[in-house]
Structure 1
Amino acid sequence: MVETKDIESGSAGEDHSEEEEEAAMEKAFVDTAVPSWRQQITIRSMLTSLVLSLVFNVIVCKLNLTTGVIPSLNVAAGLLGFAMVKSWTVLVEKCGLLKQPFTRQENTVIQTCVVASSGIAFSSGTASYLLAMSPQIAGAESAAINVKELSIGWMIGYLFVVSFVGLFSIVPLRKVMILKYKLSYPSGTATAHLINSFHTPKGAKLAKKQVWCLFKSFVGSFFFACFKWFFAAGDGCGFDSFPTFGLHALKQRFNFDFSATYIGVGMICPYMVNVSLLVGAILSWGVMWPIIQTKEGSWYEAGLKGSDIHGIQGYRVFIAISMMLGDGLFHVVYMVIVTVKSFMAQQSEQRHVNNRTEGGQLIQDYNDERRREYFLKDQIPNAAAIIGYVLLAALSVGLIPVIFQQLKWYHILVAYIVAPILAFCNAYGCGLTDWSLASNYGKLAILIFSSWVGLEHGGIIAGLASCGVMFSIVSTASDLMQDFKTGYLTLSSPRSMFFGQVYGTALGCIMSPLVFWFFYKAYNVAGEGSSYPAPFAVTYRAISKLGVEGFSSLPKHCLTLMIVFFVSAVAINLLIEILRKCDIKIYKFIPSPMCMAIPFYLGAYFAIDMCVGSLILFLWERQNKKGAKEYGPAVASGLICGDSLWGIPSAVLALSGVNSPMCMKFLSSSVKT
């Protein structure tokens, strides 16, 4: 899965204005009392978090099951949290019953809970490594020891066992990363600025307009999704199969399918992400696959099912995997180098500062003094964090082998010994670059543990289960540090941040499997021609199979193509970094190998949708740059929310046996009806 974040800088004048506003930020709240950490956690914030967590779990689940491209939803979480509680407090205040005003700290707790919950929906693996264990993905030829039937009970239990450990792994380093090294954590910082602005008079007026824009786009996309449902009575019917570029292009999955979700995602994602997806689709479905299909009967056996990885599907999946692994390995190595260099530079700078300042204390500006005071006020004892990690790790060592008999206690112990180091590297690198490599660490864990256990002992399941252990720890650790940065900039207590993360994680551990199960039972998830193909379930299963079987199971010449694309992915990333270091601007226009790899399996339809979203935003910016910047994310979030939430009534109708009344289908003129 790929999570994208859109942090773009504006013009020099805009940057200067924002810097002035930031410098005066805490002075704007000087007369506002900061509530205690217990007052920052309210019943209304918990209920709001519960409702929004359900909404965002549905959105992330649908995105996971369709393409796996997850945009940053922090803006929508902060905005909707503000809108819901602010509306409630205004109503209660008019009745004279308001006891506690709505503060930015409470808003931060809500945003933390919602993002933590949706983060579990991303890292839970319900649409990737857990689904990859199922018979639907494994196929009939797989041995029973390498297949595991999905059920709500063990999935929720497994997530509760593995999802909380990462929270304790990074807590002792919060002061070092936030105060000593002053890591930027761009997403956490951007979220904090957003929440701070909501609670100023000017920001509150803008927030109301943003909420109205979000609501209008939400209603429009919801009813358009409902409208599309009426014409999708069978396979190949409806707007999803609209032959935008002709019937031949549709067979190669080149079409615009009118998905408001991916138009909205395209408006949030950076332009080069969307362009990279389209380039990858053209390279694969426009050039490579048609050529390889002419080799049927020579390179691979003729007459195989479309889903058989020994045929054309094998080239699609394994070449995409080689690009993802090449991109992932490069970024892991690069991030380690950047982390070590930055760490050493910070140490050197700190010694220099200590030598030239009296008593080792810098003269802080007003913002820093105030933020540092409240960040250090309510501490989480390091001993409690260490004990929590040890106890939860011990619990996992005992329980995970019960859930997955293919894994032994010593496999889990090794994972938990290594995990804190990887969690630190990921959290530190995320603070520098805003790029989390959690999924890459998960893929490496699959290869290592699947080959360690072996095929005959259930190595495929062992690799997939170990992926969840590593993925969860590394992902939640970096997410928590992002939240600490947000809390630092909004004067929110570290204790309320930690509580919000724990509460949101608990909600995610329950909601993520339940929402997935709803889709799983209502739709033909991962089936042939399904609108929910779950591409990463196939990919993760193939990675695990590669770990236990080696390259012997690959179709002819597939290994050669994998090596070519692996090396190409590394070379492209290396070129981008060299050009970036040399400040040669052309690096901004080089496609990302990771993004290019995604449509290798899926096709171009969602990439075209996302490029349409980029085009809308581009034209909007040409017309009104300020308006696009202020309202673009809100409109995009509404498109995503409305279209995704139609999945709930649609699933209810499917479970009730109610089908669409009509089929809109396009046929060639040579076909007689």
Structure 2
Amino acid sequence: MATENTHELENGHGTTENVLEVDGEAAVESKGKEVESVEMIFRETMVPSWKGQLTLRAFGVSAMLGVLFSFIVMKLNLTTGIIPSLNVAAGLLGFFFVKTWTKALEQFGLLKHPFTRQENTVIQTCVVATSGIAFSGGFGNYLFGMSDTIAAQSSDSNSPTRAMNIKNPSLAWIIGFLFIVSFIGLCSVVPLRKIMIIDFKLTYPSGTATAHLINSFHTPQGAKLAKKQVSALGKFFSFSFLWSFFQWFFTSADGCGFENFPTFGLKAYQNMFYFDFSTMYVGVGMICPYIINISMLLGVILSWGIMWPLIEKKEGDWYPAGLKPNDFHGIQGYRVFTAIALILGDGLYNFLKVLGSTSIELYNQLIKKKESHTVLPVGEDGITISFDDQRRKQVFMKDRIPTWFAVAGYVAIAAVAMTTLPRIFEQLEWYYVLVIYAFAPALAFCNAYGCGLTDWSLVSTYGKLAIFVIGAWAGKSQGGVLAGLAACGVMMNIVSTASDLMQDFKTGYMTLASPRSMFVSQVIGTAMGCVIAPCVFWVFYEAFPDLGVHGSEYPVPNAIVFRNLAILGVEGFSSLPKHCLSLCYGLFSTAILINVARDTTPKKWARFIPVPMAIAIPFYITGTSFAIDMCVGSLILFIWEKRNKAQADAFGPAVASGLICGEGLWSVPKSILALVKVSPPICMKFLSKGMNVKVDDFITTLSR
């Protein structure tokens, strides 16, 4: 999944800034070098036409998995915003379902079309495109940040212009908005596919890792391993689902259940240090790099262990006493804006770093190409390219996507957007949209190119840039907050889908899937996501009335961050509590210095330097048990690797995916039970000895 939440760890398809990227690189490295010639293994296998790769069974499986993964991504998005790569699970489950189906048909002599790696690639592409909309659609950040629920908890809660900066969710306008903005990014980079993939030979680590995975599935040895991986995924999927079902019985009220178990004692529990038995975040921790999980734990210690207790002692001095917990003139203001400072410092540094490296590398590539006058069939240093590359280039260039088609599509969609988006958001003038679409192709290229070099997708960074530019342009009195958030949505969707498509082109290049089939599957997956993701969000929205409320089960913390970024863009820093700005300056500078240290320190030491974006996440999330859960996942994987590294490499992603999918799927029946007003029958709470005595005495008094 190529998002920035898996990228910036805020995808999720995601800021992480860099869960997906780091994980993608690790996946590539773990594969080692390719066997001598992958395509020699498949030389006797016929490659279907691009239409033959687009089968009904592929899209049927994709729709089913798209719903499942949309629920998973949505739950992660509405809780912490940490979305790991689900590419392995998508490829593995797609292979399993279609292979099982074709094997059954083959036994009855009804099989007409064998299951190919190209069809497997189509499934993986379609599933990731579908579930990717659950992230880029903004349900956990910019889109829900427009709502009255989030506005009431933001720093402009008492602003006289608040009414014009609110737009509450509605299924109709959300689906319409997504259909308008989600496809144009696909047209922006299509003409560059040959330059990116063949001429510049960009790596796209996540796309390459996915291709290795799919290629291996369709060899006899890989099929046997895939069967064992699916078995492991199924076992831990069942365990995770049943464990989540069991826990539900004990959560009839707030503060009840295993998720509130005071693992390290009641005092630590009061300061948010406890393990909440979430199998989903244990699985996420097994996928995320160790340094990401440790960085978040460090963030928990710095914020909830040190900074907030010290600032709370300044109540009545730094900020008025007796404020509500979510009042931005009190402790909540320090929590959110210090996190924003870390996020902006980290995002700005990495934006400039990737932009600089992209520009330098692009310049070098163009100079090299100009001097050599040719790229193929002779590679760098005059070495003739391999049989694999010759075969892949032949197939990749066979089914061209006309440039005129991409340009015409971009212009047509932009024209529709300039006409319709101002009708959805009155504050977003047509010329704002025109400016966004004028600059978006260049930014989409930068992101897609940088993603090819490093696997870093800076989706949220480009979105935040749009927030500040359009928000400041519109102005406070003209609904600049809402205009900035809407512009963020337009920009994020363009940049996200562009880099995702190029990743898919790389996967298709290495599996001999046609670029046309990749493009069509991305379009169909995006279209499914534009319907599925809003419907999944609506299930959560209707089932949980406190969705987005500070301290609830689904607090949607990134929505508050994005809204306050928009407020900063139009109002400045005037509303911050005392000394908050000084803390923000300090943390902004610290984030930049940490990144400088990571890039200048020798690699053997740099891997121990924390990631500022990951440190920032616990700052504004109430209830930081997820960091403990993820560190438990890291510990499990670490011990497993020490005992049997080969087994951990082969089955770790499958086990993690099972844990994530099991709890993610439980959110479906849980939401249905909430919709029909069925509550858990038991409340299990953990009290201190003294409190328990008081409760017993109170109950005894009542019984008399």
The separation in 1 between residues aligned to 2:592 and 2:290, in whole angstroms, is 22
The separation in 2 between residues aligned to 1:624 and 1:8, in whole angstroms, is 21
Could you say what secondary structure the match of 1:182 adopts? coil
Give the letter aligned to residue 628 of structure 1.
A
Deviation at 1:286, TM superposition (A): 0.4
Show the counterpart of 2:699: none
Q: CA offsets per residue over residues 560-602 of structure 1, 9 Å max, x none?
A: 10010011111111111112xxx34211000000010000011
Taking structure 1 as reference, are residues 461 and 374 closer, same or farther at Cα in structure 2, changes over 3 Å only?
same
Q: 1:178 and 2:201 equivalent?
A: no
Q: For 2:633, which of 593, 613, 617 is the aligned residue?
A: 613
Where does structure 1 lack aligned partners over 5 or more consecutive residues?
A: none
Q: 1:199 and 2:213 equivalent?
A: no
Give the letter aligned to residue 97 of structure 1.
L
Show the counterpart of 1:327: 346
Deviation at 1:358, TM superposition (A): 9.4
The separation in 2 between residues aligned to 1:216 and 1:462, in whole angstroms, is 47
The separation in 2 between residues aligned to 1:326 and 1:422, in whole angstroms, is 20
The separation in 1 between residues aligned to 2:24 and 2:428, in whole angstroms, is 40
The separation in 2 between residues aligned to 1:398 and 1:670, in whole angstroms, is 65
Matches within 5 A, 1:139-288: 139=152, 141-142=158-159, 143-288=162-307
Q: CA offsets per residue over residues 260-305 of structure 1, 9 Å max, x none?
A: 0000000000000000000011001000000000011111111111
TM-score (norm 1): 0.97
Q: For 1:634, which of 645, 650, 654 is the aligned residue?
A: 654
Show the counterpart of 1:125: 138
Show the counterpart of 2:572: 550
Paired-residue identity, %: 58
Q: CA RMSD in A?
A: 1.6
Taking structure 1 as reference, are residues 355 and 268 closer, same or farther at Cα in structure 2, changes over 3 Å only?
closer
Deviation at 1:550, TM superposition (A): 0.5
Q: 1:127, 1:534 within 8 Å by CA — same for their partners in 2? A: yes
Deviation at 1:438, TM superposition (A): 0.6
Give the letter aligned to residue 79 of structure 2.
T
The separation in 2 between residues aligned to 1:516 and 1:55, in whole angstroms, is 13
Q: For 1:394, which of 402, 408, 415 is the aligned residue?
A: 415
- Runs of 4+ aligned structure 1 residues displaced above 6 Å come to 355-362
Matches within 5 A, 1:527-566: 527-566=549-588
Show the counterpart of 2:33: 19
Could you say what secondary structure the match of 2:83 adopts? strand
Q: For 2:56, which of 22, 43, 48 is the aligned residue?
A: 43
Task: Name which of structure 1's ranges 360-369 and 467-476 shifts more when overlaid on structure 2.
Answer: 360-369
Q: For 1:68, which of 65, 81, 88 is the aligned residue?
A: 81
Q: 2:199, 2:375 within 8 Å by CA — same for their partners in 1? A: no
The separation in 2 between residues aligned to 1:75 and 1:358, in whole angstroms, is 33
Q: For 2:591, which of 558, 566, 569 is the aligned residue?
A: 569
Show the counterpart of 1:84: 97
Show the counterpart of 1:511: 532
Taking structure 1 as reference, are residues 211 and 510 closer, same or farther at Cα in structure 2, changes over 3 Å only?
same
Show the counterpart of 1:664: 684
Show the counterpart of 1:414: 435
Q: For 1:653, which of 669, 673, 680 is the aligned residue?
A: 673
Q: 2:28, 2:206 within 8 Å by CA — same for their partners in 1? A: no
Deviation at 1:354, TM superposition (A): 3.1
Deviation at 1:414, TM superposition (A): 0.4
Give the letter aligned to residue 24 of structure 2.
I
Q: For 1:449, which of 455, 470, 495 is the aligned residue?
A: 470
The separation in 2 between residues aligned to 1:355 and 1:24, in whole angstroms, is 24
Deviation at 1:20, TM superposition (A): 4.8
Show the counterpart of 1:308: 327
Where does structure 2 lack aligned partners over 5 or more consecutive residues?
A: 1-9, 696-704
Q: 2:378, 2:384 within 8 Å by CA — same for their partners in 1? A: no
Give the letter aligned to residue 203 of structure 2.
S
Show the counterpart of 1:98: 111
Show the counterpart of 1:467: 488
Deviation at 1:7, TM superposition (A): 3.2
The separation in 2 between residues aligned to 1:89 and 1:117, in whole angstroms, is 24
Q: 1:274, 1:611 within 8 Å by CA — same for their partners in 2? A: yes
Show the counterpart of 1:297: 316
Could you say what secondary structure the match of 1:35 adopts? coil
Q: 1:118, 1:508 within 8 Å by CA — same for their partners in 2? A: yes
Q: CA offsets per residue over residues 128-187 of structure 1, 9 Å max, x none?
A: 111111111111635210111210000000010000010000101000000000000000
The separation in 1 between residues aligned to 2:111 and 2:509, in whole angstroms, is 27
Give the letter aligned to residue 299 of structure 1.
W
Could you say what secondary structure the match of 1:69 adopts? coil
The separation in 2 between residues aligned to 1:609 and 1:359, in whole angstroms, is 50
How many equivalent pairs are there?
A: 666
Q: CA offsets per residue over residues 186-229 of structure 1, 9 Å max, x none?
A: 00000000000000000000000000000000000000000100
Q: 2:378, 2:385 within 8 Å by CA — same for their partners in 1? A: no
Task: Name which of structure 1's ranges 306-315 and 78-87 shifts more when overlaid on structure 2.
Answer: 306-315
Give the letter aligned to residue 567 of structure 1.
S
Could you say what secondary structure the match of 1:670 adopts? helix
Q: CA offsets per residue over residues 625-671 of structure 1, 9 Å max, x none?
A: 01000000000000000011111111111111111111110112222
Taking structure 1 as reference, are residues 11 and 253 closer, same or farther at Cα in structure 2, changes over 3 Å only?
same
Q: CA offsets per residue over residues 6-36 of structure 1, 9 Å max, x none?
A: 1355999x76xx4251x32100000000000
Taking structure 1 as reference, are residues 414 and 10 closer, same or farther at Cα in structure 2, changes over 3 Å only?
closer
Taking structure 1 as reference, are residues 357 and 274 closer, same or farther at Cα in structure 2, changes over 3 Å only?
closer
Task: Name which of structure 1's ranges 116-125 and 208-217 shifts more when overlaid on structure 2.
Answer: 116-125
Give the letter aligned to residue 19 of structure 1.
K
Q: 1:317, 1:539 within 8 Å by CA — same for their partners in 2? A: yes
Q: For 1:502, which of 504, 523, 533 is the aligned residue?
A: 523
Q: For 2:501, which of 464, 469, 480 is the aligned residue?
A: 480
Q: 1:282, 1:604 within 8 Å by CA — same for their partners in 2? A: no
Give the letter aligned to residue 240 of structure 2.
S
Deviation at 1:353, TM superposition (A): 3.1
Q: 2:396, 2:514 within 8 Å by CA — same for their partners in 1? A: yes
Give the letter aligned to residue 236 of structure 2.
S
Matches within 5 A, 1:360-379: 363-379=384-400
Could you say what secondary structure the match of 1:37 adopts? coil
Give the letter aligned to residue 459 of structure 2.
A
Q: For 1:592, which of 611, 614, 628 is the aligned residue?
A: 611
Taking structure 1 as reference, are residues 665 and 170 closer, same or farther at Cα in structure 2, changes over 3 Å only?
same
Q: 2:145, 2:559 within 8 Å by CA — same for their partners in 1? A: yes
Q: 1:188, 1:483 within 8 Å by CA — same for their partners in 2? A: yes
The separation in 2 between residues aligned to 1:502 and 1:338, in whole angstroms, is 31
Give the letter aligned to residue 649 of structure 2.
K
Taking structure 1 as reference, are residues 478 and 356 closer, same or farther at Cα in structure 2, changes over 3 Å only?
closer
Deviation at 1:237, TM superposition (A): 0.5
Give the letter aligned to residue 559 of structure 1.
L
TM-score (norm 2): 0.93
Q: 1:235, 1:529 within 8 Å by CA — same for their partners in 2? A: no
Could you say what secondary structure the match of 1:234 adopts? coil
Task: Name which of structure 1's ranges 200-209 and 598-607 shifts more when overlaid on structure 2.
Answer: 598-607
Taking structure 1 as reference, are residues 10 and 57 closer, same or farther at Cα in structure 2, changes over 3 Å only?
closer
The separation in 2 between residues aligned to 1:283 and 1:359, in whole angstroms, is 54
